[in-house]
Amino acid sequence: MRKDQRHWSFKRFFHCEGRENCPTFQFFSSRAFNPKKWSPIVIGLLVLFVFLDAILFSIFKPATDWAPLWVGGQLSWTSPRLAYDTELVSALQVPLVGATSDRPFVYPPSALLLFAPLSTLSFPAAFLLFSVLSVALFARAARPFKPQPLLLLVAPPVVLAILAGQPTILVVALILFGLAQLDQKEGWAGVLFAMAAMIKPPLLLLAPIALAGGGYWRALLTAGATATAIGGASLAVFGLDAWLAWLSALPAFKVLVTEFEPLLRNAVTPYAMFVRMGLPPYFATACAALVVIPIAWLSFAKTRDMRIRLVTLAGGALLLSPYAMNYELAALAPAVAALRLERIRDLIMPAIWAVSLFVTVSLVGLLAVYAWAVVQLVSRWHDAAVPTEADTICLRT
């Protein structure tokens, strides 16, 4: 493979020989940034997205979710175990974002390897640096999907995740890089998936099944080795107490999610929906598992379409996870922004996905995108199974 034909590399990302050869320049100079080439359908969706973004900026205070990450990072320098003391972490956030309810640090100690260095900066500086780097990597990683760049960056779930200071954007960028490299540099893909999983494990719940379905055994091996190395590094730096404190804090966090109405209302999972309806929540998880596990396996075994793989991997994980909030819909943004928007009906699914943030039924938006991916997977599988006319002639002869 020639150098100029590679999908991406860190060297090409940071060092471009002429802007015409720079993938980042090509991304931001595409037709999506030329209003003269926008179709009325794209303009309509863009107007909807910007309108919803304005609502988000009017009702959400920036960096509210970055506060527990920054505070947890600071505490890890002195006593990592205290990062999982919900009362202490919540109290230390008051000078940063004002009076809040319980806002625990819930990420594993492996994530502190990222947040601890950032916490050495001031709160605003750390938030700004983390946001800029996350968006830059996200935009670059999404390029193989060929999305409409402007739609991608102003999509309400993406804006919400950035505004809140969630690491979702960074984690999704790592997943996108991994998907792009899976059929070329399988080992590196496993490394990237493991890095993402050690920051936000729920989004990678289905990764082992998906990789096994596609026969990506080298990726599985390198992912396991990388996860072990990162876990070992966090154990050496923060100690066993930090991991024990995290495991001890998980039951309390589960109670907080299931009993605190604002969190429950903004959750995106079937588990949370069943809790709200007073139904057995684990029944929802079991039903979801019966669907998303075989779909994840088949999507990596039967197609190389990265949009389908992303939705069935990350979207399926959200359907399976007990806890995930509405900003996690940003994980599906590259697939949504890459849709062909040519007819009015093409607006239905992206509109449902975006509007569902505001009507306390974000699960509907997730299901809409996931159903699209499943339909695409089945149709491609069917097309591949039906012999063409040329195949029929060859068989007859």
Cβ 157 vs Cβ 143: under 8 Å: no
DSSP designation for 155: -
What's the domain count of the chain?
1
Per-residue pLDDT, 26: 53
pTM summary value: 0.89
Say which range, 139-148, 181-190, 345-354, 388-397, has the weakest mean pLDDT: 388-397
- Across residues 41-66, what is the average pLDDT? 93
Per-residue pLDDT, 260: 81
Q: How confident is the model at residue 6 (pLDDT cuts 50, 70, 90)?
A: very low
The pair of three-digit structure tokens given for residue 264, joined into one six-digit string: 């429950």
Residue range of the domain that includes 346: 3-396
Cβ 281 vs Cβ 269: under 8 Å: no
Asked if residue 384 has pLDDT above 70, the reply is no
Query: What gap in Å lies between CA 97 and CA 94, rounded to an integer?
Result: 6
- The chain-wide mean pLDDT, for the chain, equals 88
Cβ-proximal residues to 334 (8 Å cutoff; 6+ apart), any chain? 141, 142, 145, 147, 152, 172, 176, 307, 310
Asked if residue 339 has pLDDT above 70, the reply is yes
- 3-state per-residue secondary structure call for 206-239: CHHHHHHHCCCHHHHHHHHHHHHHHHHHHHHHHC
| Per-residue pLDDT reduced to its tens digit, 256-315 | 888 888 888 889 999 999 998 999 999 999 999 999 999 999 999 999 999 999 999 999
| Per-residue pLDDT reduced to its tens digit, 27-39 | 555 545 555 567 7
Per-residue pLDDT, 261: 82
HSE value, Cβ hemisphere, 13 Å, CA-based, for 4: 6
HSE value, Cβ hemisphere, 13 Å, CA-based, for 122: 3
Cβ-proximal residues to 111 (8 Å cutoff; 6+ apart), any chain? 167, 198, 199, 200
Say which range, 211-225, 268-282, 349-363, 375-389, has the weakest mean pLDDT: 375-389
